[in-house]
Amino acid sequence: MMTIDEKKFNRLWTISRYVYGLYPIIVTIFLFLMIPKLFPNDPVATRFITFFSNYQLITIMTIANGLLGILILTRSPRLGAYLIAALGTIGVLVKFSQKIELSDFIFIFAYLAFGLLTEIKETANRQ
């Protein structure tokens, strides 16, 4: 059995919580505030914002990601991480006929790993 120093584990988990909580919030802010201002007449930027071919779907998913990032930072990091991974999986399935990138799967795996890390921390706190 492998043991780990509690202080190091808590430090790693806290850093991970901030990274995985702030990332979706920053992406949400960037998509809604920065891109239309940086590229007002650029068709590539317009295509980037509406890459699902349904603007409402990308808007809902982006807002949900931002709210789940807040959930990770505040109340339930494990639930937020799993829900962001599920939302990422839905995003991959929706754009299945389009270009799927390796980064999509890395994103899903990273949030699943953070959810598992949080589950380990919660189990250790209960014992």
- Look up tokens 């990274």; give the residue: 19
DSSP category for residue 95: T
Which candidate, 87, 83, 91, 90, places its Cα nearest to that of 51?
A: 91
CB-CB contact of 16 with 114 (8 Å): yes
The ranges assigned to domains in the chain are 6-126
pTM, full prediction: 0.75
pLDDT digits (tens, 9 = 90+) for 29-75: 887 776 666 656 655 555 555 554 556 666 777 888 888 889 999 98
Chain segment 96-124, per-residue pLDDT in tens: 656 677 888 888 899 999 999 899 888 88
Q: What is the pLDDT of residue 51?
A: 52
User: Which tokens belong to 73?
Assistant: 């930072």
**Residue 1, pLDDT score:** 59
> Which residues does 84 contact at the CB level (< 8 Å), separation at least 6?
20, 24, 65, 68, 69, 72, 111
